[in-house]
Chain A
Amino acid sequence: MSSRYIVRRVLLFLLVIWVGTSLIFFLPRLAPDRDPVAQRLGNLAATGGINTEGLDEMVEAYRAKFGLDQPLWKQYLNYMFDMLRFDFNYSIAMYPATVFEIVMRAVPWTVGLLLVSTLLAFAIGSLVGALLGWPRTPRVMHWVATPFLMMSSVPYYILGLVMMYVFAFKFKWLPLGGGSQYGTVPTLTWQYVWDVVHHAILPAASMVVAGVGFWALSMRGMMVTTLGEDYVMLAEARGLSPRRIFFRYAMRNAILPQTTGLALSAGTILSGSLLVEVIFRYPGMGSVLYRAITGFDYFMIYGVVFFVILAVGAATLLLDLIYPLLDPRIRYSRK
């Protein structure tokens, strides 16, 4: 892999982060004639919360306090500088915790759940799809795969609710929600690890079951196309074993567009998982965002959205860097 390629990808990643964070800064300011301080104080005055006397001075004083009297470019610079230091201010609803602290506590939960379930769904789905496109696969496979294909059209969160009802409420095999037993302190013991895994099974399963069908369907199509390639035919004429042809020739090439699909759907997967977290009261970013939205915790929303942008950008960057290792043609494609 050329260093040029890596530099390009990293620069692109930084560009995405910069554009994304700028967008969150400018979007609220695009609303015409909006003055958050005057509006807020006006509301308070109208409901009798404060005296209308000296309201204008008060507005001015608050503007100066929040830096809103400064020109836009200076506000923007301040904002970007804060973002660079991950300083998102305090959470309004959970004062005195800072947004950064809360997000940092939630990130490992989300990353763990999301990474494991996405990779599982991708791996299982791609293998099932490859087998569905392979003429030697026993017909029984089609019967096994059909329910998964059907469930791919059900959204994560509906599937999550159904599974929660069946496995947690009816049969009581698995906990109803949460990330670990209530009140336990995170420690590196087998007991705690098992507790976490136990709690993650249902939310992860709902994402995996819903995802497998999606990946299987696209992989099947890719597999059929690849099997028509001349190099697969010649591989057979060279006397290679069907097993080798399946893995090294057909599936190995069919997985390439599949990986692109994974990169493209990183955002969708993330937003879907946020809803799953809310349903299972999982202590990750989804629950944090949900609480922030319902509690009008603006700083919190900014913080979470920033980290979502960061995460999607990082996932795309990672796949971009992995892709040349999967497909040698990419390495030299740019002159």
Chain B
Amino acid sequence: MSAPVLQVRNLCVHYETDAGPVKAAENVTFDLARSERMGLVGESGSGKSTTVLALLRMVTPPGRIRGGQVLLDGADLMALSPEQMRRMRGSAISLIPQAAMNSLNPVMRVRDHFYDTILAHDRTMSRAQLAAHTGELVEAVGLRPNVLRMYPHELSGGMKQRVCIAMGICLRPKVIIADEPTSALDVVVQRQVMETLGRIQRQLEASIILVGHDMGLMAQFVDKIGIMYAGRLVELGPVTEVFGLPLHPYTRLLINTLPSLDAKAVFKGIPGQTPSLLNAPAGCAFHERCPDAVGDCWKAQHVLTEVLPGRWVACPCHAGAAA
């Protein structure tokens, strides 16, 4: 494998509140290889969206990036000036949003959204080049060129999401962040959109981070999966291996919650609640819900460690078992 395109090291994002900092992301560390598809899953509030917003340096107050490095092709994004960071957004690292329904400016034609994005980074393009490029983009995501003349309210949800995908790739970014791109769509459209996204990603050879909580979708789409719990990555590894042999008890329970077609049973959940990120308990955040918790778990944080080649887990009990 070539050098990773994106290296995230000890990324910490806190939301400052009157009651103290809420640690929405703590020591998040991972690598993303060129043209790799990585999934980031976790419950609501586990810090996945905060993490990807931090990659774009778009955490807004009271949230603050408290530390860590994000290296994109070796350059530290955290060290850039606001203007340099603006130039990175959309061109080197782009976002495909969760709420495509409202992600387009209602008073602008679809075409002008593309022109805005491109011209924000490249002022040299002529009108004709812009039109040609934009035409190719909408075709690439399977839309007819007449959508360019339309206003956002004239498009369906799936069409808007495709427009957002086309806009996310219009400057050939190295990293695409897709933040639950299909959560607002029905399953049929969801499949079409994911196929489009996958095809585009292969063509561009871009890397992609797919955020979501749909384990089934992840299993089909990504190469590598990261599981987040209470602001921390608890497991990271190739998706087939993680599904085949989950090392962290939380991952195991999460996979077990997937309903199967053969056995009609009650939906299984994970008992208990996500801990508050404010005054988080000492020790492993999962120990209160963990069926395998041992004496030490409430005392010390477990650090994400590589227990097998390419397999990282923040739990000591299964590290030994796997080896």
Chain A residues contacting B56 (CB-CB under 8 Å) are 237
**Interface contact B151-A328, CB-CB below 8 Å:** yes
B319 at interface (Cβ–Cβ under 8 A)? no
When C-beta atoms are compared, the residue in chain B nearest to A255 turns out to be B107
A45 at interface (Cβ–Cβ under 8 A)? no
Chain A residues contacting B58 (CB-CB under 8 Å) are 233, 236-237
Assembled-state Cα–Cα distance A241/B83 (Å) = 8
Most chain B beta-carbon neighbours within 10 Å: one of A233, A242, A252: A233
User: What's the tally of chain A residues with a CB closer than 8 Å to chain B?
Assistant: 24
B144 at interface (Cβ–Cβ under 8 A)? no
Chain B residues contacting A233 (CB-CB under 8 Å) are 58, 97, 103
Q: Which of A231-267 contact B (CB under 8 A)?
A: 231, 233-242, 244, 248-249, 252-253, 256
Most chain B beta-carbon neighbours within 10 Å: one of A244, A256, A329, A332: A329
When C-beta atoms are compared, the residue in chain B nearest to A227 turns out to be B60
Size band of the interface chain B makes with A? 20 to 34
Assembled-state Cα–Cα distance A229/B152 (Å) = 14
Partner of A239, one of B90, B104, B107, B151: B90
What does the 1/0 interface line of B154-170 toward A look like (CB < 8 Å)? 10000000001001000
B116 at interface (Cβ–Cβ under 8 A)? yes
B89 at interface (Cβ–Cβ under 8 A)? yes
Partner of B105, one of A231, A237, A242: A231
**Interface contact A248-B94, CB-CB below 8 Å:** no
Do A239 and B86 form a contact, CB below 8 Å, given A230-B99, A230-B102, A253-B106?
yes
Residues of B at the A interface (CB closer than 8 Å) are: 56, 58, 86-91, 94-95, 97, 99, 101-108, 116-117, 120-121, 151, 153-154, 164, 167
Known: A234-B103, A327-B107. 20 other contacts (CB 8 A): A229-B102, A230-B99, A231-B102, A231-B103, A233-B58, A234-B95, A238-B89, A238-B90, A238-B94, A238-B120, A239-B87, A239-B121, A240-B117, A244-B120, A248-B105, A248-B116, A253-B107, A328-B106, A328-B151, A332-B153
- Residue contacts A-B, CB under 8 angstroms, 26 given: A231-B102, A231-B104, A231-B106, A233-B103, A234-B95, A234-B104, A236-B58, A238-B117, A238-B167, A239-B88, A239-B90, A239-B120, A240-B86, A240-B117, A240-B120, A244-B120, A248-B116, A252-B107, A253-B107, A256-B107, A326-B107, A328-B106, A328-B107, A328-B151, A328-B153, A329-B151
